[in-house]
Chains A and B, each alone.
Chain A
């Protein structure tokens, strides 16, 4: 019901994953983060994209998920990174085993002051979920600038799993990297516009 009223305000509407598998079976949720969406009203905005159950990439950050179900999430991270404003978000939490996988290697904490830093996080405060999304080298020559990005562009693949709550609810999620380049404290622009760096998990029973 909440999602119904929410839909008009969210670019791309709510993407429904409740019928993408048999009841009780895990849901595969694949998203990508892109440094600039490259089209639309705000072509320079950094954004999340989501692959719908039919395999199309959509510009939507509101996803309907079944309750009490394991979600296997894959994030294709096409953006570069930097040290975190608060290293607290470098810790993986709220997901299965409190670990995520970065290009096949599991990790529980990522030192954002090392390597390529953290580009974004996928954080659902209401569910205690937070995963740092490690950035790609900013020196790379094939950084994707227009969404959706093809796998040929430099990217990191971060995977993790979590279980949705048993009861229905609406949970906001957001990126905790102030990644809105050029905006006050990095939290304006795409960080403050629906449909880019935050959205909702609409969990339905």
Chain B
């Protein structure tokens, strides 16, 4: 039986949004699927050698963190203060560690190890002035047509 396949377009690179594509890619690979991830726009920096992932509570009313037995959101006026994004990112990272959630670095390494095909969007590389030297070992360069070819042959195609 030919194995099933999945492709994911990865468009977001914040700490929170980095999770769904890497969780699904690594799990699908573990379940025997051929997986391709296409990194474009703000998803592209997820391939950088050194990750410094941040998130922002600004304009994110659904982000409510467990605190002192309650769930606390943050008003936009507070989220705007310099340093708040960094503090919220640190808080999320600590919470994830405490709850046994893998780091993006670990999930990314697992994706590479399990043979997930990584495609870096050539146009985004040019736009944001990156080269393959800035990236981890493994990604290849490709454009929309490269992705579409993969998508036409995949059982599952996701845009995240």
Asked if A pairs with B, the answer is no
